[in-house]
A and B are shown apart, each in its own frame.
Chain A
Amino acid sequence: MRLFVQIITIIFLGYALEQFLPWWAIAVAAFAGGLLVNTNSNFLAGFVGIGLLWTGKALLTDLTTDVELADRVARIFMLNNKVLLLLVTFLISGFVGGFAAMSGGALRNPAPAR
């Protein structure tokens, strides 16, 4: 439950900070999420939270258009299609989020599991 709250917090913070900061806003958000809502699985929370924040938005962008730029970008990156591009996006953002949340979490003791 607490992990869920942490993931939601990270997504929410990430979304808010992306409006003002460059792309590394996700690191700030995940760091804060790790610090504020500390769990035993900070890395996982950051990884999943930020990964969803980015892939979700990318997916939404792709679903609301009839332009195939995502596929073209995938080809430029020598990936077969946009699904792979979304996966890469998930991994890249996820690792940044995961390690950032981990460092935030390391500043505090985790709350006792309930």
Chain B
Amino acid sequence: MKLAKFFASLVITLLLIYLMDRGWTIGSVSIPPLGKFLDPYHGFWQNIEPLGYQGKKQLEIPGLRAPVSVVYDSLLIPHIFASNNDDLYLAQGYVTAMYRLWQMEFQTHAAAGRVSEIISSDAVLDYDRRQRRLGMVFGAHRALKAMEDHPAIVQYTKGVNAYIESLSYRDLPFEYKLLNYKPEPWTPLKCALVLKNMAQSLNMGDKDLEMTNALKLFGKEMVDLLYPDNENTGDPIVNKPGEWTFPPVTLDTIALALPDDLIKIDKRPRMDPTTGSNNWAVAGSKTYTGHPMLAGDPHLELTLPSIWYALQLTAPGINSMGVSLPGVPCVIIGFNDSIAWSVTNAQRDLVDWYKITFKDETRSQYLLDGKWVDTKKVVEEIRLRDGSIFYDTVVYTHWGPVTYDHSFHASSEKNGYAFRWIAHDASEEINAFYRLNRAKNLREFNEALNFFSLPAQNFAFASVSGDIAMRIQGKFPVRRKEEGKFVLDGSKRSNGWQAFVPNEHAIYEANPSRGFVSSANQYPVDSTYPYYITSTHYEAYRNRRINDVLRNSGNITYRDMMRLQTDNYNLKAAESLPTFLSHIDTTQLTLLQRQAYRVLRGWDFYNSANSAGASYYEAWWDNLMALLWDEMDADTPMLDRPTTYTTIKLLKERPDLQFFDIVSTPERETAGDVIRKAFVLAVETIEEWKSTRATLPVWAEYKDSFIRHLLPPLTALGIPVKTGGNHDIVNAHDRRKGPSWRMVVSLEPSGIKAWAAYPGGQSGNPGSAFYSNMIPRWARGAYFSLLFMRSPDENIQKTFYTTVLNPKEK
């Protein structure tokens, strides 16, 4: 009896341990190992940092040559002081991993199409397959060839691995515990994948397939009206007509063969035309101090852990501060003791799709220059969470991987669409940033950028010695007119990229007479630049507002720079709302509509956090776009909406355009009808919003922004923020995207001063007070004064604590 009781209870105990020592998946819900996870001595509770928590003061790290001081300031920004370059990058890798390991690894998994290993679902598998079929790893391998031996990469990798090896379950970042997996060793390939991931966010935008469909359905003339190459919205980034004196690289002229296809591919995710960034530099002639100032705010989809990791890197020959990408050595955007730089996206078309004709459904051969040429098949193994493997055969051609074929989002067995992307080529960005971090002046800045291929960026520059400059740097294929806008014929080699714009021909200006340089993703250059330029879209509003303000300002202080960075003036509304209102017949309005009309009439065109006019305008705009371009929103055939700027222009100039007719109604609508319908819908939208909330429809509440966790299902780890601004506004924070880092630098010879804030915090650990501590100040449009140190002992009263990394004896 006794024995039976013993065995029974023992079996129950062991069973409970078994059940709670492993994770379970029930339907789509994944449960971590409850015993491990909830154990307050090892599980997630151990990730919660007590009030005033400080990390260890001494650490032993294998691979270091000499001790490295890591001084943390009150924002937990590490100021790394190393006695040699090798130790510097090893320390950067180690320290970054301490705070951001999960994010670093997850981003590489996402880039490489390996998310299914962590969470399985049909949508995730589709995502992974797409990543592989876009050649992300293929590109990373090629890129790596040029930089895998770079000491920064090698040492950074060592540092990350030293940290990973020091971990037990107790120390694992929160997300590993929740999702029940472990970090794998870091590799140089992962550094390359993080860069590809950023390149994908910034340089993979294209609408070739959509444009091809538009061409087929609407004809060339309409395509040119709806999707012009250049909208001529104002100042290009660099405007020096007649000064492009070099002889351009030219290609043999061949007649442009326009495609005649209707492509039925469901391409997702669709390109988002509203992301962008701002940067500008002002010469000493226009500043209060008499020395240059620089401002930069890259806009990205805001996520937690934060996209950027701020730090200072100091060793003989380098003292650089700014933000880094977790997973990549060096400072990416920032300053050093002599120069400052910031980037915005160059928006150029760096993607082409080639229509492939296969000999038969085996896809073993395809037509190239009149011959059947062998394809190369790569079998991708996608590991799923449950341990099974999904095999996907990806066909590679002369152009690159065939992304869409009958096994993926397309139906034809004889045709496929091959993907050519600039990021498939070898490149050495690390070399560029390594030099940029050390550059002392304009000449060294330019030499550093010669190593930079992608993602193509507009680099704003300012130096203590008084120079300002703008350079649009990237690897740009030389294109014939209109080449690359539509799907290209993949059976002719001559349709490929045959030459690239040499660095000496880059769009560039230094110390222009207007006393400032700026970029906000607008059209890059005046019409005398001798290369053909095309893109999915160019920005039309932020750039004009920035240039207007800078042109009309003098004696600019750092506070003026901040005010402009957080400026909520809605130029788009100022240019469109009067026209919209003129179409409203006030005698025909209901009470609620009349109220809305009055609010809009009195609105000052600022999307301030507490503005009700902004809510009504944005609701009107969103409803209007959907009604206007209803023809473009269907999934197949896939089409693209014209830009905001072109839309407003057409509403004013072509009110009877065929597209303004709403397809689902029998009447034939013109611009005025649609504007009125959208107004009625907007008022309904706002009233519906009001009915479920206790607050007034002020813009910050109505916009309802949210900074999500990097893993979308973890909504509990995201943070709501209430701010003004929107896309197309200098303060570009919309619901999800916005200024991921705001920086203002004053380049004074007596010492560089810098201010910054970003929507997150230095720690990636949701159990740390530093996970999101910068958000409130960032949301208010306020800044932190950055501590730029020259030695580890300086300003010690402003620092939080110091960790010394010591070489570990073997």
Contacts and interface: CB of A to CB of B under 8 A. Distances in A.
Given A69-B44, A69-B47, A69-B766, A75 B12 contact: no
A64 B50 contact: yes
Nearest to B45: A61
Interface in B10-27: 10, 12-13, 16-17, 20-21
A57 B40 contact: yes
Contacts of A76: 178, 714, 716-717
A102 B9 contact: yes
Interface stretch (B330-338, B363-371, B767-775): B767-775
Contacts of B12: 99
B6 interface: yes
Given A67-B769, A67-B771, A102-B5, A96 B38 contact: no
Given A69-B766, A106-B9, A58 B40 contact: yes
A27 B13 contact: yes
B51 A64 contact: yes
A10 interface: no
Contact of A103 (B9, B43, B45, B169): B9
Contact of A96 (B35, B51, B766): B35
Interface in B741-785: 766-769, 771
Nearest to B770: A67
Given A65-B48, A99-B16, A106 B35 contact: no
Interface string A89-114: 10011011001101100110000000
Looking at chain B, what size class is its interface with the partner chain? 35 or more
A18 B771 CA distance: 28
A89 B51 contact: no
Interface in B38-67: 38-45, 47-51
Contacts of A57: 40-41, 45
Given A23-B35, A76-B716, A99-B16, A65 B44 contact: no
Given A76-B714, A96-B13, A99-B13, A67 B49 contact: yes
Contacts of B714: 76
Given A67-B48, A106-B2, A61 B40 contact: yes
Nearest to A42: B9
A72 interface: yes
A20 to B, nearest CB: 10
A54 interface: yes
A69 B48 contact: yes
Contacts of B47: 69
A65 B49 contact: yes
Contact of A69 (B9, B51, B767): B767
Contacts of A61: 40, 45, 48, 50
A23 B43 contact: yes
A73 B39 contact: no
A93 B38 contact: yes
Contact of B767 (A67, A100, A103): A67
Contacts of B424: none
B35 A92 contact: yes
B584 interface: no
A57 B38 CA distance: 11
Contacts of A89: 38, 40
A8 interface: no
B34 interface: yes
Contacts of A66: 51, 769
B51 A22 contact: no
Interface residues of A, number: 36
Nearest to A14: B41
Contacts of B48: 61-62, 65, 67, 69-70
A100 B15 CA distance: 11
A93 B716 CA distance: 25
A24 interface: yes
Contacts of B39: 18, 22-23, 26, 54, 93
Given A27-B13, A67-B769, A99-B16, A92 B45 contact: no
A99 to B, nearest CB: 4
Interface string B712-756: 001011000000000000000000000000000000000000000
Interface in B169-217: 169, 174, 178
- Which of B3, B10, B766, B768 has the most chain A CB atoms closer than 10 A to its own CB? B10
Nearest to B15: A99
A66 B40 CA distance: 17
Nearest to B43: A23
A9 to B, nearest CB: 18
B50 A103 contact: no
Contacts of B109: none
A54 B20 contact: no
B805 to A, nearest CB: 26
A61 B2 CA distance: 40
A3 interface: no
Contacts of A67: 48-49, 766-769, 771
A36 interface: no
B716 A72 contact: yes
Contacts of B43: 23
Interface in A5-29: 18-19, 22-27
A62 B35 CA distance: 19
B36 interface: yes
A54 B49 CA distance: 17
Contacts of A106: 2-3, 5-6, 9
Given A22-B169, A23-B41, A96 B20 contact: yes
Contacts of A102: 5, 9, 13
Interface string A77-98: 0000000000011001101100
A62 B44 CA distance: 12
B769 A27 contact: no
A34 to B, nearest CB: 9
- Which of A66, A69, A92 has the most chain B CB atoms closer than 10 A to its own CB? A69
Going nearest first, the 4 A-B pairs with the smallest beta carbon separation are A106-B6, A23-B39, A75-B716, A57-B40
Interface of A: 18-19, 22-27, 31, 54, 57-58, 61-62, 64-67, 69-70, 72-73, 75-76, 88-89, 92-93, 95-96, 99-100, 102-103, 106-107
Given A23-B42, A103-B6, A103-B13, 13 more contacts: A23-B20, A27-B13, A57-B41, A67-B48, A67-B766, A69-B174, A72-B716, A72-B766, A73-B178, A89-B38, A99-B12, A102-B13, A103-B9
22 contacts: A22-B42, A23-B43, A54-B40, A57-B41, A57-B45, A61-B50, A62-B48, A64-B50, A64-B51, A67-B768, A72-B766, A75-B716, A76-B714, A93-B35, A96-B17, A96-B35, A99-B13, A103-B6, A103-B9, A106-B3, A106-B5, A106-B9
